[in-house]
Structure 1
Amino acid sequence: MLFLINVLLTLWFYTAHGQGKHCNYPVIKHGPLYHSYSGYFPAHVNQQFLYNSDQYFVPPSQYSSDYLACTAEGWSPEEPCLRNIFNNLENGYNSIVQGKTVRVCCYHGYSLQNNQKTMTCTESGWSPPPRCIFVKKVGCSQPPQIDHGTINSSSSAEERREIHEQSCIYQYGEEVTYKCDEGFGTDGPASIRCLGGEWSHPQDCINVSCVNPPQVENAIIQNQKSRYQSGERACYECIANYDLFGEIDVVCLNGTWTKTPQYSQGKCGPPPPIDNGDITSLLHLVYPPGMFVEYQCQDYYELRGSRNVVCQNGEWSEPLKCLEACVISEEIVKKHHIQLRWKHDTNLYSKTEDNIVFMCQHGYPCQEGKVVYP
């Protein structure tokens, strides 16, 4: 009984860990195993075997050789060898692996088999064969209709039937042109050609109009419309005392507006006058943004603030101030019976915050920090 339990536990352990599964000897199309001793098989899960591919085939990794692994689901990769086709190029080559599709462009009057536009690399080679064959000159019936567009033709279908007297009313090689509705246009050629009884693929008419031109600060749009056709312009006009930098308009190009003008900045009128000061430069009626003017104070007046004011957004920056001087005249001296201690001028001009030292005249002393005036 104990032996039977051990056997069951062993089988359960191997099965739970994949050891109970195995892979039989692999059949590899277009390639052999590097070592194929019969004693290796059946193989256990996670065992790997090196293999090579035949000429014109490669492993999915596209190396010259790779490993075939035994998994719980079987051998991996399922297709060990894939067709590999080389297209010669000048000083090189292009490698196409099985399952890949490439687009082919044939010369006018030629096409791939069944008018196909692409070919796929398969196990047996290209499908369809990589050969552009001559297309029989068969006419076409009415061209396909497209949304938001009409066929621009000089004659009607009835007229064409009378001319050709057959069901194919367009001859081989003939072109028709589409005309898109207003506000729509194509992103490629607007014509299609009749080739071998079929029309080439027409371009779509896409919306190429524009709405809502970008807004620019301090500017208005002249004669603004609800919709602009491709090629039309929206022109901006600045409000008073403002200028635009760069272009003055934007253009609608295939549904998108071109670069928006830079933000507008205001022009300034004459700079403001200041008390007891003058402008050193020549005055103008209008000043562009960023222009500055320089001030200077009159004699005996002290400058407070920047000597320059700048035109910004249609306004001048805060102007300076010319602080008034203190004047001590002869009349004041006589009235208060004082005299200047260090100077004997008739009039004294002192700048703001200057200290002035007096001394009393005879008979009018200074008492405890106060001068008693008569």
Structure 2
Amino acid sequence: MALEFQLDHQDHKKVEDFIARSAAGVSAISLHPKVAAAQHGVAETARDAGLEVLYDPRTERLEHEGFTLQGIPGYTGTPYNLDALAANVDQRQQLIDAVLGATPDVVTIVTPPHFLARDARTSHLDLALAEATRLSTDKRVRPVLMMKARFPVADAAELAREYAAAGFDEIELRFTPLGGEDDGIPKIRAAFTIADLFRSAGLKVVLGRSGNVGQTAYALGHVDGYSMGIGQMEHVNHSADITRQKQPPKLDEEGNKVKSGGAWQGVYIPNLATTLSMKRARTLLGHTDVRTKLLCRIDHCANSLLGPVTDYRSHYLHSRAAEAERLAATPPAWRGKIETDRLQRALELRELVNTKYRAAGEPELKVRTLQSLVDGIEEERAAVA
């Protein structure tokens, strides 16, 4: 296991082309719940290349109202009452059947319905949904457990034992909020500790939608894999997701939905270890003072002055996969050093950009998460010295 890519609406053609050429560093893809039918081609290509194929039902959103829920399996128009769901086996089975019915046949690992685990009841609801899903399909099942970033460690240890006792040998952990640019050492340390608990219980662990935090967790051996989207979904913030889904669509004077300004185009700059807006990335890469420090030399980017912004999806795929491949090919004892060097270089370049190449009105590139990761690596290396 290593890096997993979670697909959005428009990613499948680029991902299919990338995997068809080389899937090094990538272990799985996850299909989008609303457009999985259009992603059948990339799913088959991934499966033929030896990658796992998943389908993320995103049922954690169904606990709340919203304007973007149509197409999510199990959506009824009414938010789920988790207390009622925990007490009603028939209702749980209906939700499971809806998810399994929406899961494409090409999927190799089934994702059960799940909700935010905020207390003992919701935690055990997720476990019950996962167990019932496993009994309802012949395919491998990998539960998703989304929990608060400061979830009690003792409760997590008990959950790890219960998932193992239920027969699961793999799980995806998502901590909310985690993976942004302002995470401190205590939050990161807590996530790594909980991941260790699940691995100690005998489960393989994927840190979902985790960006730099996931890559460092993998380098240090806290997890077996990590996932992210293509230029997005590099962190988890469940509260922000729910806030966005509750925002009504903008309408014109005639009541028609106003078209948005287009999809977010996240341009990953490896040497900064961050994903920038298209505008900001283009500005930096166009500056002769700093561009050589930020260029990508892989695949099509090697033959283009502005490769990362010319085809930002393909660039994201090959640059992120190259980082994962490098770690996977490095003996575990040396991965921490490799990751420290990457993060230290990024910190230095972020400081350079902040002091000399930041346009008026642009925010500073934050350094707290990267510095916390560097400090955490040094802390762990000193502990085993």
Between structure 1 and structure 2, the one with the greater Rg is 1
Instruction: Specify the TM-score bucket, using the shorter chain as the normaliser.
Output: under 0.3
The structure whose residues are more often strand, as a share, is 1
What TM-score results when the alignment is normalised by the length of structure 1? 0.16
What TM-score results when the alignment is normalised by the length of structure 2? 0.16
The structure whose residues are more often helix, as a share, is 2
